[in-house]
Amino acid sequence: MKAVLPAAARPLLEPRLPADLDAAWFAKPEEANAMIADADIAWVDMQPTELVADAIRHAGPDLKWVSTIYAGLDAFPLDTLRDNEVTLTNGAGINAVAVAEYAVMATLVAAKRFDTVLRAQDRHEWLKDAPGKIELAGTRALIIGYGTIGRMIGDRLSAFGVDVTGVTRTGRDGTITPDAWREQLGDFDWVVLAAPSTGATHAMIGHDELAAMKPSAWLINIARGDMIEDDALIAALTDGGIAGAVLDPTNPEPLPADHPLWSTPNAIVTMHLSGRSQTTMFARGAALFLENLAAFLAGKPMKNVADLDAGY
């Protein structure tokens, strides 16, 4: 049995791989494309993520399992995997703590306008008053996408006294369903996007949704950039329709230097750094792969098996 694996993970994986597993280590996209042709297992994460889909399309008929440390699956050719009955396991949970902490940081930065404080420091200007005076206690947050990351964000915001409402497909555990959140947007001070990227979430925040939010509310996106209509957001921020937005992902990425979001009033762009703001991602990813490998070889259920129809 052959597995195509990233050379960067070799020190973490090789000592613990079964002796009879044929491990092929790639360092370049063209190596992954060639090695996957006769592979049974593939972990072919690369940047930019378009390279992942390209590699998978070079796979032969033996491919049975694709592993990734990415939580979002928008880079993967899900139709191809489904048609060839390939199992895909994702990295849900690997970056959850880091991303949740980043979302809480974004909320605090917005509440206290710490971005304004830092810019004043750059100018060597002593501010005579605090630019942000919102206390989190007593505010309300809507978290759209209450999975692993969403729940972690909710738990952490709740500790600050924020009243949290989550959105899930089923409305489980006191959350609300996807057909209910739009009519309640005006009730929240913080709207946090933490949903997986699917056809249903594309451009989910547009003119109507932004108009329904409080003028004092902030939009915080730690999910995917294509969930927001940029023109609508730029207009809402420029006209004061909402107070501000913290955008970790953008569309496209990297955001071009001349893109208007860079200079839109009260837009804070954080360059999709949330998942990278930690040092354990690869170690956790390797541990998850090894655990799933043992299950795969034993014919037992694996962790984080993606629903290719749902897209996550």
Known catalytic residue at 50: no
- What sections of the chain are H helices per DSSP? 10-13, 29-35, 50-56, 78-83, 96-112, 114-122, 148-159, 207-212, 230-239, 281-298
Q: Kindly write down the DSSP assignment for every residue of 86-149, as one continuous string.
A: -EEE--TTTSHHHHHHHHHHHHHHHHHTHHHHHHHHHTT---SS-S----STT-EEEEE--SHH
- Whole-angstrom Cα distance, residue 69 to residue 46? 10
Token pair 């597993």 is at which residue? 21
The residues that bridge with 136 in the sheet, in sequence order, are none
Known catalytic residue at 224: yes
Task: Please identify which of the residues 224, 229, 284, 291 carries the catalytic annotation.
Answer: 224
- Whole-angstrom Cα distance, residue 67 to residue 58? 16
3-state secondary structure of 190: strand
Listing from the earlier edge strand, what are the strands of the sheet with 22-26?
A: 22-26, 2-6, 41-42, 65-67, 87-89
Q: Any residues with CB less than 8 A from the CB of 55 and at least 6 apart, and which?
A: 29, 32, 33, 36, 42, 44, 46
Task: Please identify which of the residues 140, 202, 272, 284 carries the catalytic annotation.
Answer: 272
Backbone dihedral angles phi then psi of residue 198, each to the nearest 5 degrees:
-140, 175
- Whole-angstrom Cα distance, residue 222 to residue 274? 7
Known catalytic residue at 253: yes
Task: Please identify which of the residues 50, 135, 183, 253 carries the catalytic annotation.
Answer: 253
Token pair 């600050």 is at which residue? 160
Q: Catalytic residues, which ones?
A: 224, 253, 272
